[in-house]
Amino acid sequence: MSFEHDWARSAESARMRLNSAPSSGSNADLAVSPSTKRAVAGHIENELGPAVARQSSAAVNASTSVFGSSNTTPGTLQGWDTRKGLDFCLKRWDEAWRGVRGHLQREMTALRGTGNSFQGEENARVQSFQGVTPSSSPAPSRLNNL
């Protein structure tokens, strides 16, 4: 089997995957509910956020075992010039982690705010219809007695 044959087969496979989207005539719609927004915010707060924090902590612990912590815990590379580079990398990691944590916090707050806004709008619409009473019979018309 030649390279050209393999490449053609791979290209055809990729083309088929790209063309697998449903047609534009589908009945898909964008449905947003306050409970969905709150559920996603809860997932960020209770699962995703803590998982990211655990991974960040694991990276810091692994780095600390290599180059130590201040002068209290000697690491494998204690006293080596390499430690300066690793300190720099760990500092950048911490900055990136704080950025991710802040982003997740903002997303969580925005999702909850949007959910509350949708719920408030829904409640306002329901209240606006409460003053309207359905009539049991059609309104009288001058044409009724012709």
DSSP secondary structure string for all residues of 29-55: -----HHHHHHHHHHIIIIIHHHHHHH
d(CA 33, CA 77): 53
Note the pLDDT tens digit of each residue in 84-113: 777 788 888 889 888 988 998 898 888 888
Note the pLDDT tens digit of each residue in 6-45: 777 777 766 655 555 555 555 655 566 778 888 888 888 8
Report the candidate in 109, 102, 98, 68 with the shortest Cα–Cα distance to residue 86.
68
Note the pLDDT tens digit of each residue in 34-50: 788 888 888 888 888 88
pLDDT for residue 133: 67
**Contacts of 11-20 spanning 24+ positions with Cβ under 8 A:** none
> Exposed, middle or buried, 67 (CB in 10 Å: 0-12/13-18/19+)?
buried
pLDDT for residue 146: 67
Q: Do 95 and 102 form a contact (C-beta atoms < 8 A)? A: no
Other C-beta atoms lying within 10 Å of the C-beta of residue 7 = 10
> 133 in the Ramachandran plot: left (φ > 0), alpha (ψ -120 to 50) or beta?
beta
pLDDT band for 80, please (50, 70, 90 cuts): confident
